Copies of this chain bind each other. A is one copy, B any other.
Amino acid sequence: MSEVKQLIAAINDFREAREWRQFHNPKDLALSLSLESAELLETFQWKTSQEALATNQQAMKEELADVLIYALMLADDLSLDVTTIIQEKLDQNNMKYPVKKSTGKKDKYTTLE
């Protein structure tokens, strides 16, 4: 079993042992993912990256794990293969952000010249 499939299996074991699948509709999973990413962002509130890293690394690690856990549950419930959708998105971004036009620029593709 691949690394990602093993992680998803462990996460599914966790939620099934608690009979939580009944609550896990895609809308509330997406909502929860958004809440966890806010909690991750909170570790940087009023701080530079450096200040945040100096004090909040443990919380960062835990909140990033929560983000990944919700993202993997949602992918699994939508029958999406994580490796496939990432590769497809990179291919798509490759066309939206051609190396020639976007090197060293932080513009959105809609405003790239």
Count residues of chain A with CB under 8 A from any CB of chain B.
73
Majority SS of interface residues in chain A? helix
* Residues of chain B contacted by A4 (CB below 8 angstroms): 3-4
Chain B residues with Cβ below 8 Å from A75 are 64, 68
Contacting residues of chain A (34-87) with chain B, CB-CB under 8 angstroms: 34-35, 37-49, 52-53, 57, 60-62, 64-69, 71-72, 74-75, 78, 80, 82-83, 85-87
Q: Contact: B47 with A68, CB < 8 Å? A: no
Since A7-B82, A38-B38, A57-B78 are in contact, a sample of 11 more A-B pairs with Cβ atoms closer than 8 Å, ordered by chain A residue number, is A17-B103, A18-B97, A23-B46, A26-B60, A30-B37, A30-B41, A31-B44, A34-B37, A65-B88, A69-B86, A72-B86
A-B contacts, 20 listed (Cβ < 8 Å)? A3-B83, A10-B90, A11-B86, A18-B105, A20-B106, A22-B104, A27-B49, A27-B52, A28-B49, A31-B31, A31-B41, A31-B45, A33-B67, A61-B80, A61-B88, A62-B89, A65-B89, A66-B89, A69-B86, A69-B89
